[in-house]
Amino acid sequence: MSREQRGPNEKLGAVLALAGISNAGLARRVNDLGAQRGLTLRYDKTSVARWVSKGMVPQGAAPHLIAAAIGQKLGRPVPLHEIGLADADPAPEVGLAFPRDVGQAVRSATELYRLDLAGRRAGGGGIWQSLAGSFAVSAYATPASRWLITPADSSVARDVIPAEGSGAPLKVGHSDVRKLREAAEDARRWDSKYGGGDWRSSMVPECLRVEAAPLLLGSYSDEVGRALFGASAELTRLAGWMAFDTGQQEAAQRYYIQALRLARAAADVPLGGYVLASMSLQATYRGFGDEGVDLAQAALERNRGLATARTMSFFRLVEARAHARANDAVAAGAALKAAESWLERARPGDSDPSWLGFYSYDRFAADAAECYRDLKAPGQVRRFTEQALSQPTEEFVRSHGLRLVVSAVAELESGNLDAACEQGVRAVEVAGRISSARTTEYVKDLLHRLEPYGDEPRVVELRERARPLLVTPA
């Protein structure tokens, strides 16, 4: 449905002309973005003509999808007022700011925590549906540059003066911070074993809203505040990672930006680098290899001489992933070599951060295999995948499933259809035990690559086994 404005929407018409999008092209893009969020939209060129010439304003998520569709073509965020749809139901810009002031940073993070997250967990309405498709890699430019310029705030002490009759403000201590760190540790374990969409993992946003937000708004010394911001940054990054794993890219982006700002308040440069590495992986996964390189290199630049050898190895590995997606084999190879060299320097007694507990040689081998998959070097993929799959899988179930799919792709590209299907069956079995949209996407990609062999009995069997995994819940 739509409601009518007074006269034509000249702003929308002008931006469409600037972007070089036809009426039919915009309708198709909006319908596609809606389908990605489980919305059945049937807009056509006549619908767009009404929006432009008669000033009709589509209802629901459509105005935000229009802005997102045009933004994707222009390569930058497009606010509703720029396309004459500012009077549509507003999609909040909450979570996209990277404030310079610590007090404003607290407000920015806690506002994000308080959003209605039910839609993300249930796959239905809620705020994330209204933000559908609004991921824009350009939104990372300001946070990354501000973090590079000033990676730590001078003081984060907070003394809340209570309003009359409101009682004493919450006084935050180290015991409160420990509880948040314990929650982060539990969440990391559940996420690795069951996927970002598992109900135990999805409790992280609730923890941020109920536990972290009141603490951030309380009173604390500079010492306690640094620790509090660090623990909150870890949890916020985890919320972003889980959103990323479940396909909610717009939610992940907002969580990552706030996590980076909190890491700056914590004066924790390695943690800030870890958030930037997460941003880089998301950008790379979305196809923005060059931007992924920039984000990974930002993580590296500020951590020289600060981070442990294992941490630097991981940052170089993330850089290699981005170079490979950008199809730069030379740069990817150099980054992989540097990552392996840093990893060889790591020692058991090093003071590695707790959030890096997942990273060992098998993780390096798994990501190296993905680099060579993107560079279309199946021999190297097989070599590294064999090393990655040689480790136990009980703790990192999702990672094991992803590695199996990468192995299947390598076997297929080497002409080994039987081996590809065998690995594919194992991957489907793993994917069926976790809740991870990313793993499902990997399986879909494998099935797409197998389409030329669709009549082969082994491929038919694999497709049938994968069918329950690919059915979208009602």
pLDDT tens digit string along 111-156?
899 874 433 333 334 455 455 446 788 889 999 999 999 989 999 9
64 has pLDDT over 80 = no
Note the pLDDT of residue 473.
45
**CATH architecture, range 2-83:** Orthogonal Bundle (1.10)
Could you give the CA distance from residue 373 to residue 378 in angstroms, rounded to a whole number?
A: 6
**Mean pLDDT to the nearest integer, 439-457:** 90
**How much is the mean pLDDT over the chain?**
86
333 has pLDDT over 60 = yes
Task: Out of 254-258, 413-417, 443-447, 466-470, pick the least confident.
Answer: 466-470
Enumerate the domain spans of the chain.
2-83, 360-474
**Cβ contacts of residue 213 below 8 Å, gap of 6+?**
109, 110, 113, 114
Residue pair 31/67 in contact by the 8 Å Cβ criterion: no
Note the pLDDT tens digit of each residue in 293-331.
Answer: 999 999 999 999 999 999 999 999 999 999 999 999 999
**CATH architecture, range 360-474:** Alpha Horseshoe (1.25)
Tokens matching residue 251: 């939610």
SS3 content of the chain, % helix, strand, coil (to 5): 65, 0, 30
Cite the DSSP H helix spans in 5-140. Answer: 10-19, 23-36, 45-53, 62-74, 102-113, 118-122, 127-130
Could you give the CA distance from residue 146 to residue 286 in angstroms, rounded to a whole number?
A: 23
% pLDDT > 90, the chain: 56
Global confidence as pTM? 0.78
Could you give the CA distance from residue 459 to residue 241 in angstroms, rounded to a whole number?
A: 32
- Taking CA atoms, 227 is separated from 82, 172, 319, in Å, by 41, 11, 28
The helix (run of H) or strand (run of E) holding residue 4 is: strand 2-4
Could you give the CA distance from residue 100 to residue 248 in angstroms, rounded to a whole number?
A: 27
224 has pLDDT over 80 = yes
- Confidence at 206, pLDDT banded by 50, 70, 90: confident
Longest dimension (CA), the chain: 76
The helix (run of H) or strand (run of E) holding residue 60 is: none
Backbone angles phi, psi at 157, to 5 degrees: -60, 145
Task: Out of 188-202, 276-290, 439-453, pick the least confident.
Answer: 188-202
Q: Which of 70-74, 152-156, 193-197 is modeled with the greatest confidence?
A: 152-156
Residue pair 312/353 in contact by the 8 Å Cβ criterion: no
Task: Out of 94-103, 112-121, 171-180, 328-337, pick the least confident.
Answer: 112-121
Residue with tokens 């703790």: 395
Whose CA is closest to 231, among 186, 290, 287?
186
**Mean pLDDT to the nearest integer, 72-91:** 75
Note the pLDDT tens digit of each residue in 256-303.
Answer: 999 999 999 999 999 999 999 999 999 999 999 999 999 999 999 999
Note the pLDDT tens digit of each residue in 387-431.
Answer: 888 776 666 788 888 889 899 998 998 899 999 999 999 989 888
Residue pair 56/4 in contact by the 8 Å Cβ criterion: yes
Whose CA is closest to 313, among 325, 328, 296, 330?
296
146-151 contacts, C-beta under 8 A, 24 or more apart: 146/98, 146/100, 146/264, 147/98, 147/260, 147/263, 147/264, 147/272, 147/276, 147/298, 147/302, 148/298, 148/301, 148/302, 150/264, 151/264, 151/267, 151/269, 151/272, 151/302
% pLDDT > 70, the chain: 86
Residue with tokens 């056509």: 44
- Other CB atoms within 10 A of residue 348 CB: 5
**What angle is formed at CA 419 by the lines to CA 413 and CA 424, rounded to 5 degrees?**
90
Note the pLDDT of residue 5.
53
Looking at the DSSP assignment, which residues form a beta bridge with residue 3? Answer: 57
Residue pair 413/450 in contact by the 8 Å Cβ criterion: no
20 has pLDDT over 50 = yes
Note the pLDDT of residue 87.
67
Burial of 185-209, coded b for 16+ CB within 10 Å and e otherwise, reads eebbbbbbbbbbbbeebbbbbebbb
**What angle is formed at CA 159 by the lines to CA 154 and CA 163, rounded to 5 degrees?**
145
Cite the DSSP H helix spans in 326-416. Answer: 329-345, 361-374, 378-388, 397-413
Note the pLDDT of residue 36.
62
Note the pLDDT of residue 1.
44
Q: Is the dihedral of CA 74, 76, 82, 87 positive or negative?
A: positive
Residue pair 47/25 in contact by the 8 Å Cβ criterion: no
Could you give the CA distance from residue 356 to residue 271 in angstroms, rounded to a whole number?
A: 10
380 has pLDDT over 90 = yes
Note the pLDDT of residue 132.
44
If 0-12 CB within 10 Å is exposed, 13-18 middle and 19+ buried, where does residue 468 land? exposed
Could you give the CA distance from residue 256 to residue 266 in angstroms, rounded to a whole number?
A: 15
- Other CB atoms within 10 A of residue 10 CB: 12
88 has pLDDT over 80 = no
